[in-house]
Amino acid sequence: MIIKKIVKLFDKLEDKIRGKLSHYPILYAIIGGIGVVLFWRGVWHTADDMNLGSIMSLVLGTVILLLIGVFVSAFIGNRLIISGLVGEKKLEEKEEAEIESEETQIKNIQNSLNRVEKKLETLEEEIEKK
């Protein structure tokens, strides 16, 4: 019960912070980069503290990534795999008009998602009032 409340608190806090930082992409990238570096620094030092050698780290990391299904996407990304499967051109091979068209489609999808998110928030507020 208390764990659900804590998770919900952090979820709402994350939404608010992400919403504000999205208006400042450079600051968002800097803060995100710092977080990523500190996270991996912690992982690195923990592995050192556990006296994991380089071979053991490589094997253990590979096994973990394979078990949770992240190995391939972590290194080449889902977008690259999907674009290869559907036969899309590489970004540098696309014409400017194609790129602009895709950007417009992405913006339209984002706007639709924003509207859906606002509607869901309104519904959640109405449900919580009841």
pLDDT in tens, 98-117: 767 778 888 889 989 999 99
Q: Where are the domains of the chain?
A: 1-51, 53-88, 95-130
H-type helices in the chain, by residue range? 2-21, 25-49, 54-67, 71-76, 78-85, 96-129
pLDDT in tens, 74-100: 766 666 666 666 666 655 555 666 767
The answer to whether the pTM exceeds 0.85 is no
Read off the pLDDT of each residue in 27-34 and give the average, rounded to a whole number: 92
Quote the pLDDT of residue 23: 86
Helices 2-21, 25-49: crossing angle, 10 deg rounding? 130
